[in-house]
Amino acid sequence: MQRKRRKELRGKIAFDTSILLEQLLSTNRGIVIKDYVVRGEIVPYITEVTLTETLYVLCRRIGWNRAKEKVKLLVDSGFFIVEDLEHIREHAAQYKCKRRISLADCFTLGLAKYISAPALFAFKEKEIIEENNKEPFDVEIIFLDDIYKNL
């Protein structure tokens, strides 16, 4: 099923780890997304899997203590809805069964399907593009690369 591409960010959105990293590392693109969240234009949803991946990737860049502190502050901010894995486990497993993408990406897509919202990734990941070209995903996928170019 082919979906229309979104020109703006609004409403509920499932965030991939790459989006959280952009925010926590305060990149220009991360600041743009943070502004959308703070203004209430988008409501970000994440999973424990996304938080776990964010923590270990951030740890490799800035060390365990700083990574742990940043992720805790993000969760404590109250801006993010952390969805229970129980609701999306089967969706994620179906994606992983049929697609050659990371388990964390499967959880992001499973979350998007569960909340009936798009999944937001920072970059055009090769595996996601290849799988979508083979057979379009049944959820909308947005790449921050595309949004950021149009700002």
How wide is the angle at C-alpha 21 spanned by C-alphas 123 and 135, nearest 5°? Answer: 35
Q: What is the pLDDT of residue 151?
A: 62
Which residue ranges form the domains of the chain, and what is each CATH number? 16-149 (3.40.50.1010)
pLDDT (0 to 100) of residue 8: 67
What lies within 8 Å, CB to CB, of 40 at 6+ separation is none
- Mean pLDDT in consecutive groups of 10 residues from the start of the chain, 151 residues: 55 97 93 93 97 97 97 94 95 97 97 97 95 96 84 62
pTM of the model: 0.91
On whether the CB atoms of residues 106 and 55 are closer than 8 A, the answer is no
pLDDT at 148: 73
Q: How far apart are CA 5 and CA 7, in angstroms?
A: 6
